[in-house]
Structure 1
């Protein structure tokens, strides 16, 4: 069973489009996550695949690199460490990034893997001070265009889009104060294309909400945010598959409208893609996995009854829990609130997140794990005022 989310959301295919794949991991990838590690090795060529490992984002790139080389080799690869990192002691990272032999080793590999840390260290290491590509970065693109895989976790996921979070504030502060180029956001490496915004640690840290100001600022219509210990596998034909522990949120802002002033947006379409779900970026079609295909929810037979509300919509996985209850409920709407500390800047300002189940909203439930997939729920976000200080109820 496939669900159409609207055509034309993906970037038009080009003759020189990469033939390779991306494995975009939301962070905290565990060594025992067989589906994700095995997929990386498989896409790089299978048993014995050469994979270039970048510890560039880490404060200790040698340790991060060696650890991930060991993990990839455990799953059948022949991985090698790439000594290009601004924090790698005793090295000139700019000279290393322009070393012809190192670039050729990356170019001839079957894939590359970027460890987590600070994504600005990756872009600083792989771009020259004038913004041009180093030889190693050009080699990565050559390998990817030829058919190799580029994988990355946490910071290694953030670099996948053409814009990435840089010196980001908290999620709530981002909603209140917005983002500026060169401060909260900066150029990424853009492997996924110019049309998709990517973020990571999404559900555990409530980061889905900070994607909206960044997307509005840069004009993105589609955003993909991936949770921890989970991956989005993006193939050359723009097919996305969710693999791993949890899932991803898709933010469709094609028909969204925003008001001036404090962050206020209406008519975002929000979809939760669970493990096994597939998305066609070119057509907008989402397909649930086989185990959910017969589990389409009937609005006439809801499981949950009564008002749906969360006092902390930015909490760990709260947004998908509320979406799951809404899609399987007798209610048309659910409301979540985001508030900060009384010591925050503008402590009286919070935000209301209003989720609406519309005619084209669809939900699926697995009979095995009870996990939900939820497609096309409407989301409106508006600022609210909470009187401060808070008083005891009498």
Structure 2
């Protein structure tokens, strides 16, 4: 089921520009309804929420935003969750900051705030996540492991994420931290999932509607192992798997594709190799 017509995900690879042009944050503000729209910044992934909030408060103010508020979460037993959820119910956009995605899930999972986030997307809000906040948007997120120079069986572990999109695993700081082998380790053991690697100061926009777009300074790398042949089931832990027929897509900034060409011709129809990925990114997760 396609999401609400106006709802969209903005998946950011971390270290988005907050001092100069602020292109990614400016687009988030636009997608959220403009300068006067209610914006909520969720800092639960961070161990220094006040510091994180100060950074985004200054950045959004410089962009002209007039209604931005922080949402600091200490854990699922914290008082005031209903009031926090109400703030999200009125928001045009919600921004999940970076830090530790496991911490973010410990604070959000099963709370009224998590339910409010899903309701916000369904009614047409923009839900953005940067760095840890980006990885947590998927139904399954990176939860542990290490970056190696080559794919290895068992190099990474996955855990339940927030579930805004299923069928993908999202990695961030991708080119800057040389995470291609890490993401290949993921799809070696989870070939039903796309691996999505997002560079710093770069975002993958999914929606509104069946449309994807890359914005910012870098690129988005997509690994498609659905037709892959592998011996990963036969090898020992930490051994190198044989991976045949892995598709790699590299989408630089300003790449825009839709399932159908837009009426004005500004968004081209996706090639067959990207159509299923677009459907995956813009369809409500059932996971």
TM category, shorter? 0.7 to 0.9
- Report the alpha carbon displacement of residue 147 of structure 1 after superposing the two structures with TM: 0.4
2:16 to 20, 29, 33: 29
2:34 to 27, 35, 46: 46
- Report the alpha carbon displacement of residue 42 of structure 1 after superposing the two structures with TM: 0.6
Which of structures 1 and 2 has the larger relative contact order (alpha carbons within 8 angstroms, sep 6+)?
2
Supply the distance in 1 between the matched residues of 2:202 and 2:2 (Cα, whole angstroms): 31
TM-score (norm 1): 0.61
Aligned residue for 1:222? 194
2:74 to 54, 72, 85: 85
Supply the distance in 1 between the matched residues of 2:174 and 2:3 (Cα, whole angstroms): 31
CA RMSD between the two structures: 2.5
Aligned residue for 1:273? 251
Question: Which ranges of structure 2 fall in alignment gaps of 5 or more residues?
Answer: 274-287
- Report the alpha carbon displacement of residue 36 of structure 1 after superposing the two structures with TM: 0.7
- Report the alpha carbon displacement of residue 34 of structure 1 after superposing the two structures with TM: 2.7
Aligned residue for 1:176? 152
The alignment status of 1:185 with 2:129, answered yes or no, reads: no
The alignment status of 1:58 with 2:36, answered yes or no, reads: no
Q: Give SS of 1:49's match.
A: coil
Q: Give SS of 2:246's match.
A: strand
Q: Give SS of 1:171's match.
A: coil
- Report the alpha carbon displacement of residue 248 of structure 1 after superposing the two structures with TM: 0.8
Supply the distance in 2 between the matched residues of 1:232 and 1:159 (Cα, whole angstroms): 14
Question: Structure 2 matches for 1:93-172, cutoff 5 A?
Answer: 94-96=77-79, 99-127=81-109, 133-172=110-149
Q: Is the Cα–Cα contact under 8 Å of residues 85 and 112 in structure 2 kept in the other structure?
A: yes
Supply the distance in 1 between the matched residues of 2:64 and 2:192 (Cα, whole angstroms): 38
Aligned residue for 2:179? 207
Figure out how many residues of one structure are paired with residues of the other and give that number. 258
- Report the alpha carbon displacement of residue 234 of structure 1 after superposing the two structures with TM: 1.0
Supply the distance in 1 between the matched residues of 2:92 and 2:186 (Cα, whole angstroms): 33
Question: Which ranges of structure 1 fall in alignment gaps of 5 or more residues?
Answer: 1-13, 87-92, 128-132, 294-359, 362-394
Relative to structure 1, the CA distance from residue 30 to residue 85 in structure 2 (aligned partners, 3 Å threshold; closer, same or farther) is farther
Q: Is the Cα–Cα contact under 8 Å of residues 113 and 151 in structure 1 kept in the other structure?
A: yes
The superposition leaves residues 83-122 of structure 1 with CA deviations (integer Å, 9 ceiling, x where unpaired) of 2135xxxxxx5324x6222211111111111111111111
- Report the alpha carbon displacement of residue 252 of structure 1 after superposing the two structures with TM: 1.5
- Report the alpha carbon displacement of residue 250 of structure 1 after superposing the two structures with TM: 1.2
